Structure formats: structure tokens, C-alpha cells
Structure 1
Amino acid sequence: MTQPDYELDVRPIIAKGGEPFGAIMEAVATLAPGQGLRLLAPFKPVPLFHVLGQRGFEPTAREIGNGDWEVTFRPATGEQNSGAEVSAPVQSVDPSTWPEPAVELDNRGLEPPEPMVRTLEGVEALTSGQTLAALLPREPLFLFEELEARGHLWRGSFEPEGHYRILIRRS
């Protein structure tokens, strides 16, 4: 007998300024073999397609009105969900060899997914080897995955004021 999809509504988390990635990965870890995840979000979570795709899930997305989206992640045929945890890869690059940022962005006042979109657009406008610095409202877990997929290097940390500063070097 097939299990019903696990439903997770991340809209309240995002509305409060939170980062839903942890809640999403916790939900994925609790899924039974063959069970899917039905996610409700205030935007189309495209970076999550890649993250969960690497764990054997295929997305189906549809806009449900007012900018909200319903995305169902189902195990790909022949693959089972491992429930493995996600962590940002550690970048082993000597930052002292990086040039000063060619571009600096302040993305703190933007609503998701705009900080990530704006940062990626800035990186894509750079030439190989140039760097971009960005201030973000929270740790950019989805951005890490996207930067890795594109082959870019980065380093980042939380600032004392509570925002996240990332320096990205275009490959």
C-alpha cells in the first residue's frame, strides 16, 4: 500500500523571516520508502529541485495562486530516498590569493528568492577569477548548492550584526 505524501507548508517559516531548509531536510529524513513530500512555498523553490534530485527525488510543481507554489517530490523510479543529511561543502581555497571584490551587493532587505537570484546574476556577470561580495539576510544554503553545481568557489560567515556575508569567486 502506498503511503500518502508527507505535507510541509514552509510559508509560515518564511513569513517570519526563517530559513525552511532544515525543516525540509528533516521532513525528507522521516519519509518512508517510496513516500513523497508535498511542499507548499511562497515561491517556486528551483534550487531545492537540484538538492532533492541528488537524493533521488523528482519534482512536480504548479502555481496555486497569489505567488504560492505546490511542489511534490517523489522518489525517482528505481531509487529510494536515503534520508541523508545535507551540508555545505567546505571550500579549501586560500582566500589571500583572491582579488578584491569587483562587485558588492546588499541583498538583506529582499524577500526569497531574490537574494539568491540577484547574487547569481551578479556572479554570472563577472569574468573568470573575479569576485563578488554579498550581504544576505540568512545563511544561503540553496545558494551553496547552486554555486557548487556551477563550479564557483566561495567563503562566507555570519557577521556580528546577524547577516551573512559571502565572497564568491567565479571559476
Structure 2
Amino acid sequence: MTEFVDLDVRPLLRAGEEPFSTIMATLDRLEQGQGLRLYAPFKPFPLFGVMESKGFAHEEAELEGGEWEVLFTPATVASQAVELSDIAPADDWPEPILQLDNRELDPPEPMVRILAAAETLAPGQTLFALLRREPVFLFRELSKRGHRWRGGFVPGGDTYELTVRVSAHVDE
């Protein structure tokens, strides 16, 4: 079950302040697996796309007086559950042909850049990328293209290392 961190931006908005930086700062402080419970005086449609790009699904509920409670939950990607038999041992993967540092890019740039780079590789070749966050939406796109990946956060949790192996076929 997801643990939620509460953030009420209603007082900020009533005071005429822009809450976006407060929301993003709170998001940056979330621990692995935590979600964000946001209280707002309106349904925050523009925030839904931003949060999706950061790997969060949302559920909203209207409260009394037209105010809203929105739960942002870390998205899980079913395709991440890969059977061990589907993955060759790490030492069977060739050294990466390309290395990308995407840590300074904002979504969706890292995903676009990695997918474009994968298109330039021959079947079986690999690329290595550094990212700020776990690329949950990228995993789905890699699966659609038949590619495999390995990844995880480095100690300290501020960088996600991803290796992508290009496959010879594409799953339709």
C-alpha cells in the first residue's frame, strides 16, 4: 500500500502564490514508493500531464465547495516484471556502443533521446544512459519495440543507470 505525503496548496493559492515550485519540491523529497496527496481549490488538469511524465498516476475526488483531493501514486509498469529466463546474464551483454547522460534533461527529452539512439543500433548492441528518475514510461516503449533493459539507482538514489539491448524483432 502506498504511503502518501500530504500537501495543501489552497492557502498558497488564496495568498496569490504560485504552488508549482512547492509541489515539485515536495515531489523531490518523496521516498521510493511514496505518493503525494494534493489538496487544491480546483481540479489541477495541467498538473496531471506533468506528474505523468514524472512517473505518477492520479486519482481525483471532488470535495465540498468544489475543492479537490488528488492522489498521485507512483506508476507501476507491468512490463517491468520480466522473468529471469528472459534475461541473459549481464556478462552476456556486449559493452555499450553509446553512452548518454540525460540527467540534465526534462521529460520527455530523456525518453525521446534514448528511443532515437536505440534506432541507430544494430540488433544485440547496447546503449547506456544516466537519468534523474526511473524511466517508467520508457520501459513500456522499449517493450513495444522488443528491446530489453536493465537498470537501477546508484547508491544515494540520485542517478538511475539504464542499459538497453536492442532486439532483432519488434513485438506488435
Query: What is the TM-score with the length of structure 2 in the denominator?
Result: 0.53
What are the Cα deviations for residues 61-103 of structure 1, in whole angstroms up to 9, with x where unaligned?
xxxxxxxxxxxxxxxxxxxxxxxx6442236312211100000
Runs of 4+ in structure 1 off by over 2 angstroms are 11-19, 38-43, 89-92
Summarize the Cα distance change of 1:91–1:101 in structure 2 as closer, same or farther, 3 Å threshold: farther
- The code of the aligned residue for 1:141 comes to V
Unaligned segments of structure 1, at least 5 residues:
1-10, 27-37, 53-84
Q: Residues of 1 paired with 2:35 and 2:22: CA distance? A: 9
Summarize the Cα distance change of 1:100–1:86 in structure 2 as closer, same or farther, 3 Å threshold: closer
Cross-structure match for 2:159? 163
- The code of the aligned residue for 1:163 comes to T
Question: Contact 2:128–2:164 (CA<8 Å) still a contact in 1?
Answer: yes
Q: Residues of 2 paired with 1:86 and 1:13: CA distance? A: 27
Summarize the Cα distance change of 1:144–1:101 in structure 2 as closer, same or farther, 3 Å threshold: same
Question: Contact 2:77–2:140 (CA<8 Å) still a contact in 1?
Answer: no
Summarize the Cα distance change of 1:13–1:124 in structure 2 as closer, same or farther, 3 Å threshold: farther
Q: Alignment identity in percent?
A: 45
Summarize the Cα distance change of 1:139–1:14 in structure 2 as closer, same or farther, 3 Å threshold: farther
Any idea what SS the aligned residue of 1:104 has? strand
Q: Residues of 1 paired with 2:23 and 2:101: CA distance? A: 19
**2:102 is equivalent to residue 107 of structure 1:** yes
Unaligned segments of structure 2, at least 5 residues:
1-19, 38-44, 58-75, 168-172
Q: Residues of 1 paired with 2:163 and 2:151: CA distance? A: 6
Task: Give the CA deviation at 1:39.
Answer: 6.5
Any idea what SS the aligned residue of 1:168 has? strand
What are the Cα deviations for residues 27-86 of structure 1, in whole angstroms up to 9, with x where unaligned?
xxxxxxxxxxx664566x79x9xxx9xxxxxxxxxxxxxxxxxxxxxxxxxxxxxxxx64
Cross-structure match for 2:148? 153
Q: Residues of 2 paired with 1:165 and 1:89: CA distance? A: 18
**2:116 is equivalent to residue 124 of structure 1:** no
> How many positions carry a matched residue from both structures?
118
Moved more, 154-163 or 137-146: 154-163
Larger helix percent: 2
Query: Which protein is bigger by CA-based radius of gyration?
Result: 2
Any idea what SS the aligned residue of 2:163 has? strand
Task: Give the CA deviation at 1:163.
Answer: 0.7
